[in-house]
Structure 1
């Protein structure tokens, strides 16, 4: 007896998108990735892990293009690699076929792609010019990316440690910080919100007029765009797509500008985490030592 396979609609695929995402992904990647995911889901048997491997292979091809000074080709292939990387998560959530190994493979594959492409850019331009500045460019891009993806989970971990120690409800979760962690590392179902203890219920206050940052955040939220507009994804797009398409002259200026903005974004996130720890107090010294040692 043949069992018919479910046919997915574009609305089904749209339902797998992140609640809030980078503006680069929302406007320049998802419109393509959702349609590719629809075809993959309905017409192929490709698994999320297979798509992740394909994304990594395309990343290697992009790095080879950069090393051969084929900047436009490298930029196009890098975009395809990132787009496929978005498709694998959509397929995993659409079909419920994600695995813990797939999370690891996706995370490590992203880091390998960035390091290889940074090395390819540096190698290609250094071979042409013999200028050491290109070596520093490749190293700086790789270090910034690794710092970004090491810092985000650690910040989330600190907040969870404070919340657990102070028995804080999920209401105190910072949605912007959650957006800094890849969606694949977050639970698929939202955690239930606990009621506030009576002693922590604040008295009713008169509604205050919304400030411009709050209005801007709501405006962006309606369009699924995160309020911090420069993150790792925009950094990758600037260095590996926009700059190569503009030409070799743009590689260092755009990478430097994107790197400074990325660092500024990380400083803001760390500052907000620090405010959170101050607002709710710190865990005991014994708990602090345990978290450092783990």
Structure 2
């Protein structure tokens, strides 16, 4: 059996990921993945099931009002969830069923932990705000993972109508396209190599003044040029441009807030939830700009293709 090195494991990291994963999970997950790959026969699906079990333990801890223990088990659950993907890419054992299991397991973990937090704090205080908190967390997570694949389908429908290659897809080089929207929707496979599709390449010297005279479109273009430069900086550090995605939302609600204490649950959940919604609105806005620029020839046909 082949012996893998830590460098081999590092090669399985996603080209771009959430900042929480890059800085707080991957350093641990990579070192855990190494002995798992070399000394055990655990499969990616087995690791996914283990991650779900740890998520259930986290939910039970939250329900019993053991917030720090719940946060610790949630972190372990997410970390193992990252390990299963690394093992799949390292050994080439990923399967379509594994993608489904990973996706469903994540949703179950979030719903259970949200319910555990709500139940534990409501039983302790009788404050119905915690029930609303649990429901809101579950709904926001569901919205995020319903919205993402629909945006992907819209993008693919436009590309299909125009018969153009999907240069905006961000596929994992070993496992194929992201089953949702990819790490950075509507932004291109690599901002270090490809210009932003909404703004085009950086202007040549002397062209800035010409572009500045475009009237109402100059400000959006200037904004996206700034966004593109920020995106390139983040790409050099493997960090996605949308800085508050579902992963950061989960980390704030189920790890950071419980460690801080019960007083932080509602404020941090509300703040991270608003930032997540703002991120989703921004992504929808960019998708709208994309569809305006690359509008399909038959809007009715495209609409039916996307929604059916």
- TM band (smaller chain): 0.7 to 0.9
Given the alignment of the two structures, is residue 289 of structure 1 paired with residue 304 of structure 2, yes or no? yes
Summarize deviations over 1:209-266 as a string: whole Å, max 9, x none.
7954333221111100011110000000000000000000000000000000000000
- Could you say which residue in structure 2 is the equivalent of 1:65? 61
Measure how far apart 1:118 and its partner are. Answer: 0.1
Given the alignment of the two structures, is residue 213 of structure 1 paired with residue 209 of structure 2, yes or no? no
Write the mapping of 1:106-255 to structure 2, written as runs, cut at 5 A: 106-171=102-167, 173=168, 183=178, 206=204, 211-255=225-269
Q: Structure 1 residues 12 and 276 mapped into 2: Cα distance closer, same or farther (>3 Å)?
A: same
Write the mapping of 1:74-85 to structure 2, written as runs, cut at 5 A: 74-85=70-81
Distance across 2 between alignment mates of 1:290 and 1:160: 10
Structure 1 runs not aligned, ≥5 long: 192-201
Measure how far apart 1:131 and its partner are. Answer: 1.1
Cα RMSD (Å) of the superposition?
2.5
Measure how far apart 1:28 and its partner are. Answer: 0.1
TM score, norm. by length of structure 2 = 0.83
Given the alignment of the two structures, is residue 98 of structure 1 paired with residue 94 of structure 2, yes or no? yes
Given the alignment of the two structures, is residue 280 of structure 1 paired with residue 286 of structure 2, yes or no? no
Distance across 1 between alignment mates of 2:249 and 2:263: 17
Summarize deviations over 1:36-74 as a string: whole Å, max 9, x none.
011100010000000000000000000000000000000
* Matched residue SS, 1:206: coil
Match of 2:275 among 234, 253, 261: 261
Structure 2 runs not aligned, ≥5 long: 183-187, 190-199, 209-221
Measure how far apart 1:203 and its partner are. Answer: 12
* Matched residue SS, 1:170: coil
Across the two proteins, how many residue pairs are aligned to each other?
A: 272
TM score, norm. by length of structure 1 = 0.87
- Could you say which residue in structure 1 is the equivalent of 2:217? none
Measure how far apart 1:186 and its partner are. Answer: 8.2
